[in-house]
Amino acid sequence: MENLDLVVLRALKDWRLAGKRGLLATVVRTWGSSPRPIGSTMALCEDGSVVGSVSGGCIEDDLIYRFTKAYAGAPQNEDMPHGAPRFLKYGIKADEAHRFGLPCGGTLELLLEFDPDAQALATLIASLEQGKLMQRSVNLADGVVTLREAAQPEALAVSDTELVNTFGPEYRMLLIGTGQLAEYLATMALFNGFAVTVCDPREEYRGSWSVPGVKVVSDMPDDVVLAFKADRRSCIIALTHDPKLDDLALLEALETEAFYIGAIGSRSNNEARHQRMIEHLGQTRETLQRLRGPIGIFIGSKTPPEIAVSIMAEVLAVKNGVTLPRDMEVAYAKNNAGVASSGADVMCSI
């Protein structure tokens, strides 16, 4: 599954190029709890079609009713406004919060842009497809959009005169190894919006890969890491248990800005990996601090799909800037419980 922002923007662009009216709704402010974070987007077509979301569904239904009269049977376009963007709040009163599925006391404010320019949307989409980080500024007086390449991600900002939102390229995941665990992890990464590449020079493993939508390459992993050009929206995970494949790739990964770098294995395997990289690859305890292992969070998982859930949960926590409690770390939890570690507990190491 593609990055949700791109899915929304592409749908809106296609509607506009087809001559249909539409709006782009962006969550710009929340008070209390809210079902979707600031910056979330949704596109609405004049025929009632919706892509993306700004709530759990009730607000989308209300927007469809307000701006297409889809449920009332009125002529299309009757209530779809033109002109400058406008703000719209939901959940100010307790009964509204209940009606729209907002938590008690929650308030959500949207900015609605009417009939966004198709060419501006196409330009933004093309830049994102090229891996660029883009800043989109909307003049609130007339809806005119300005695009520029951004140096780093920034939180959405809204003032009396403009909305500024940063759209980034897709998050990417590089997996080293094409075993069963990689298939489960790649599947989860795809539906979380990651573009996934999997690398394995071993034909006997690579030939049985069955997950569509994943780029599969056969070069040596360290060369693939170099070509991958990982940035702050990338993660690299080694899953082969083979030092000949994992170690040099992880060494190259540590030279990148990848937000998550890790390798599968038990506590003893992880310690052995660190020792190898210190003794033979010029690393130190300090340079290896970014290398995660044993990877995942401690949920008592013992099967490949459960381990994939554990790893994906940790990747998403790091991506979202969440600091997990120490007792969720695999090594800490197992050490604290007095669980012995050996090479044999690889599949039980999460």
3-state secondary structure of 95: helix
Both structure tokens of 47:
């025929």
Task: Answer yes or no: is pLDDT of 318 > 50.
Answer: yes
Same domain, 57 and 196: no
Phi, psi of 121 (to 5 degrees): -65, -45
Same domain for 134 and 179, yes or no, is no
Mean pLDDT of 298-324: 91
For range 79-95, the mean pLDDT? 79
Pair 146, 176 in one domain: no
Q: Is the peptide bond before 221 cis (omega within 30 degrees of 0)?
A: no
Residues 178 and 119 placed together within one structural domain of the fold: no
Helix or strand holding residue 311 (H, E): helix 304-319
pLDDT in tens, 1-36: 567 888 899 999 999 999 999 999 999 988 766 667
Bridge partners of 138, per DSSP, are 145, 163
Distance CA 182, CA 240 (A): 9
CATH number of domain containing 253 = 3.40.50.720
CA 251 to chain CA centroid, nearest Å = 25
State how far the Cα of 288 lies from the Cα of 131, in Å rounded to an integer: 28
pLDDT at 338 over 80: no
Q: Residue 185 pLDDT > 80, yes or no? A: yes
Question: How do residues 247-259 score in pLDDT, each as one tens digit?
Answer: 999 999 999 999 9
Cα separation, 34 vs 27, whole angstroms: 10
Residues 159 and 180 in one domain: no
Among candidate residues 139, 167, 195, the one where a domain is terminated: 167
Tokens read off for 279: 């003794």
Q: Which of 167, 195, 229 corresponds to the end of one domain?
A: 167
Considering the domain architecture, whether residues 160 and 202 belong to the same structural domain is answered as: no
Q: What does the pLDDT average to over 209-233?
A: 93
Average pLDDT over residues 99-119: 81
- pLDDT, residue 180, reads 93
Q: Give the residue, 208 or 57, on which the prediction is more confident.
A: 208
Query: Does residue 163 sit in the same domain as residue 275?
Result: no
pLDDT for position 341: 52
pLDDT at 321 over 80: yes
Query: For position 101, what pLDDT does the model report?
Result: 62
Please tell me the predicted confidence (pLDDT) of residue 199. 96
**What pLDDT score was predicted for residue 347?**
41
pLDDT higher than threshold 70 for residue 96:
no
Q: Which of 133, 151, 167 is the last residue of a domain?
A: 167
- Each residue of 139-179: pLDDT tens digit? 999 999 999 999 877 889 999 999 999 998 778 999 999 99
* Among 279, 261, 274, CA closest to 315: 261
Edge-to-edge strand order for the sheet containing 50-52? Answer: 50-52, 41-45, 22-31, 107-114, 86-90
Confidence of residue 332 (pLDDT cuts 50, 70, 90): low
The residue among 107 and 85 whose pLDDT is bigger is: 85
Q: Based on the domain organization, do 105 and 212 belong to the same domain?
A: no
Query: Is there a contact between 198 and 186 (Cβ–Cβ < 8 Å)?
Result: yes
For residue 348, the model assigns a pLDDT of: 39
pLDDT of residue 350: 45
Tell me the pTM: 0.70
Task: Round to whole Å and give the CA distance between 110 and 41.
Answer: 9
Please provide the average confidence, as pLDDT, over all residues in the chain: 86
Residue 204 pLDDT grade (very low, low, confident, very high; cuts 50, 70, 90): confident
Tokens of 3: 């990055």
The Cα 62–Cα 46 span in angstroms is: 14
Q: With beta carbons less than 8 A apart as the criterion, state whether 199 and 176 touch.
A: yes
Q: Give residue 349's pLDDT band: very low, low, confident or very high (50, 70, 90).
A: very low
How many percent of the chain have pLDDT more than 90? 54
The total of other beta-carbon atoms located within 10 Å of residue 159's CB is 8
Same domain, 62 and 203: no
Which pLDDT does position 345 carry in this prediction? Answer: 44
Number of structural domains (the chain) is 2
Q: Quick one: 77 exposed, middle or buried, by C-beta within 10 A (0-12, 13-18, 19+)?
A: middle
Segment 58-71 mean pLDDT = 79
Domain of residue 218 covers 171-348
User: Are 129 and 59 contained in the same domain?
Assistant: yes
CA-to-CA distance for 83 and 223, rounded, in angstroms?
A: 52
Range 209-226 average pLDDT:
94
Based on the fold, state whether residues 332 and 222 are members of the same structural domain: yes
For residue 51, the Cα-to-chain-centroid distance in whole angstroms is 17
Q: Answer yes or no: do 93 and 197 share one domain.
A: no
Predicted pLDDT of residue 92 = 60
CA distance 224 to 283: 21
- What's the mean pLDDT in 90-95? 68
Q: What pLDDT does residue 116 have?
A: 96
Mean pLDDT, range 65-91, rounded to an integer: 73
Q: Distances in Å between the alpha carbon of 157 and those of 109, 190, 254?
A: 13, 29, 33
What distance in Å separates the CA atoms of residue 35 and residue 53, rounded to the nearest whole number? Answer: 10
Which of these, 309, 171, 185, 213, lies nearest to 1 by C-alpha position? Answer: 213
